Structure formats: C-alpha cells, structure tokens
Amino acid sequence: MQRAEPEKVLVIGCGMIAREVLAVKERLGLDHLELTCLPAELHYRPDRIPALMDAAIEKARAEGYRNIFAGYADCGTGGLLDRVCEKHGVERIAGPHCFAFYQGLQAFEAVEEGDMTAFYMTDFLCRQFDAFFIKPLGLDRHPELINDFFGNYEKVVYLAQTDDPALDKVAQDAARMLGLAYEKRRTGYGDLEPELARAATRS
C-alpha cells in the first residue's frame, strides 16, 4: 500500500530566520513544510507583529492551509502574539526571542543575567549589519553617536548559526567599531530545529 503524503504545514515566519528555516527544512527532509515570511524590519516594530500575523493566518486559512505554525518567539510583543495564536489554534516557537531559541532555552536561561549588557548578533544580523544598524542609525555619517546608542553595552555576542569566517569578521569588526568586547558562540540552529520538526509532525 502506498504511503499517503503528509499534509502541508505552513510556517509564517520572521524574515530574519528565513534562511535558517529553509536550511532546517532541507536538513530534516521536511518537503511538506512551506514558508512565508513577515518583513524582517518588524524586529524594530514588534508592536506590529500581532496584527500582521493575524492577517497572514487569515489569508493562509482562506488559501486552504489547515496546519500553520508561527515562526516567531514572543519577540517583544508582550504576549499579544500568543493571543493571536490562541485565537487561530496556532502554535509558535517557544521562548522570548530568537536569541534565546538559537542558544536553546535552557542554555539561554543559564547566561541570561550575565548577558544583560550583551549586544547579540546572528548570521542574519551580520549579513545585514549596515542595512539594519549603521545606515538607519546614521553611524556612517555621525560615528560620534555610537556611544549614545551602544554606550550601555559591554560586549558583542555573535550567535553563529554557521561557520562562516566572513560573518565572524563582520561581528569582530562591529565589536571593534562599537568599542565592545567580543564573544562568539557556535549555536547552530538551537531549538529551531526540534521546534520545526515538531510542527511538521502535526500534519
């Protein structure tokens, strides 16, 4: 008897983790998992995430998707994203933000207090450092503002999803430019991998 194909699962994710979601999909062979993303710029506007997620889920339902997974942690929504997820019967990635689930929630809880003054970077933020920080903050034109924006940080912590010397150099150069200590943690995909595997089994 031919085995039935698993039903499609749609991940509505943050644009900041799109590459990583697709990498996990390929690694685990989750061919029935599909991805659509909300803009990565919502990193700066978490107050907009719940309404946009609500609209995205409504659209996906209208398109016939029964199994939907939110590719977000709370991400600064103060519990409002959970209300949207509960409304639609949709689960999300566990944890407060991607910096936590990349490290794994247990590992994050162990370092959380010591990282209160850490400026986190990920592979995405290394690739987009100029577009997300330098140009929007005007630091290319006014480097004297660095202390105003980053004066309360003590270190850059690069949470590396991959081993890419070019990204490592971006993070090191960022730490040097900002006048901060530097630490690299090779996290891989952390809890993102088991979370997506769990979502994929709901089909």
Are both 89 and 39 inside the same structural domain?
Answer: yes
Q: How many residues are listed for the chain in this entry?
A: 203
**Residue type present at position 47:** D
d(CA 100, CA 72): 11
Task: Please give the pLDDT value at position 127.
Answer: 97
Are both 61 and 14 inside the same structural domain?
Answer: yes
Task: Please give the pLDDT value at position 1.
Answer: 45
147-191 pLDDT, tens digit each: 888 999 999 999 999 999 999 999 999 999 999 999 999 999 999
Are both 195 and 134 inside the same structural domain?
Answer: no
Q: Which residue has the tokens 């719940």?
A: 50
DSSP 8-class letter at 143: G
Are both 33 and 77 inside the same structural domain?
Answer: yes
- Two tokens, residue 181: 């200590």
Domain count along the chain: 2
- Two tokens, residue 28: 């685990």
Is the pTM higher than 0.75? yes
What is the domain extent for residue 42? 9-98+189-200
Are both 122 and 196 inside the same structural domain?
Answer: no
Q: Is residue 144 very low, low, confident or very high in pLDDT (cuts 50, 70, 90)?
A: confident
Residue 66 lies in a domain: yes
Q: Are 150 and 119 in contact (CB under 8 A)?
A: yes
5's CB contacts (< 8 A; 6+ apart) are 32
- Two tokens, residue 168: 């490592």
What number is the average pLDDT over the span 40-48? 94
Are both 63 and 75 inside the same structural domain?
Answer: yes
Residue 4 in this model has a pLDDT that exceeds 80: no
23-42 pLDDT, tens digit each: 999 999 999 999 999 999 99
Residue 3 lies in a domain: no
Are both 134 and 89 inside the same structural domain?
Answer: no
Are both 119 and 180 inside the same structural domain?
Answer: yes
In the structure, how many helices (H) and strands (E) does the chain have? 10, 7
80 exposed, middle or buried (CB, 10 Å; 0-12, 13-18, 19+)? middle
Task: Please give the pLDDT value at position 139.
Answer: 83
3-12, 66-75, 105-114, 166-175: range with lowest mean pLDDT: 3-12
- Output the domain CATH number for residue 85: 3.40.50
Are both 75 and 112 inside the same structural domain?
Answer: no
d(CA 18, CA 37): 7
Are both 53 and 91 inside the same structural domain?
Answer: yes
Are both 109 and 65 inside the same structural domain?
Answer: no
